[in-house]
Homo-oligomer: A and B are copies of this chain.
Amino acid sequence: MSGETRQRPPNGGRTKPAMRDALVAAALELFVERGFEQTTIDDIVALAGVGRRSFFRYFPSKEAVVFPDHERCLADMSTFLAAGAPDDDPVHRVCDAARLVARMYADNPAFSVRRYGLTRQVPGLRTHELSVVRRYERVLADFLRARFAVRPDRTLRADVVAASVVAAHNHALRAWLRSGGSGDVLVDVDQALEYVHQAWCDLCAAPGAGGGADGDPADDVVVVFARRGVPMWRLVQGVEAALGET
């Protein structure tokens, strides 16, 4: 297809969201067809039928147009975390926050799967994606650091729990993307997040911690945390409570 036939006249009558959507659709189409490096911003605006300045009104770079919803999702995540009650289980809260990302992918499966294929092929998009993932991880870690304030290990624990949550989320998300979007990604992400929730939650009774999210219930593991120096009877009480035997 020649460059001429791919050009639309600038359309001043379209709404802003429609212009933005048109830029995203045009960019992905051209990147898949011609290659990311071979496509210029001029090519994208010509196909979308908008002016060059409109592109930069919505996106700071050619990489950013491939991930159009992460900025909104990062903002939603911060808002969601800030809205929690102070006595919420913080690990549960960050797992729920991570689900916002999965939902964004699930809202547009065809686009998500197509973009995944493109991202595997273009190193510049891979590194852009890594920097976005790192931003999510920092939002989660910052929240946990504040909520773990009374723990002596708060900053280390916050970083490790945030990394665990992001790794579990991305594990399930990537498997779904690799499968071409078959099955319910939200169910898979829930299972993966529950796995890390159980491993790191210290408000939970914690059956399954350190064990298998998909293991046999008969293999359930009980975990008891206690300060050194706590009398033995308190520990036994804790164990009994965890086992549901009291």
Contact = CB atoms under 8 A, between A and B. Distances in A.
B195 A224 contact: no
Contacts of A245: 232
A175 to B, nearest CB: 8
Interface string A68-83: 0000000000000000
Contacts of A155: 171
A62 B199 CA distance: 41
A230 B211 CA distance: 14
**How often does this chain occur in the complex, in copies?**
2
Contacts of A218: 228-229
Contacts of A128: 127
A184 interface: no
Nearest to A134: B130
A160 B152 contact: no
Contacts of A151: 212
A152 B226 contact: no
A199 B235 CA distance: 19
B152 A171 contact: no
For the side of the interface on A, what is the size category? 35 or more
A227 B211 CA distance: 9
A219 interface: yes
Interface string A203-229: 000010111111110111111111111
Nearest to A167: B163
B228 A222 contact: yes
Interface of A: 126-128, 130-131, 134, 151-153, 155-157, 159-160, 162-164, 166-168, 170-172, 192, 195-196, 199-200, 202, 207, 209-216, 218-230, 232, 235-236, 239-240, 243, 245
20 contacts: A126-B131, A130-B134, A151-B212, A152-B212, A152-B216, A153-B214, A155-B171, A156-B214, A160-B164, A160-B167, A160-B171, A162-B167, A199-B200, A207-B228, A218-B229, A221-B226, A221-B228, A222-B225, A222-B227, A232-B245
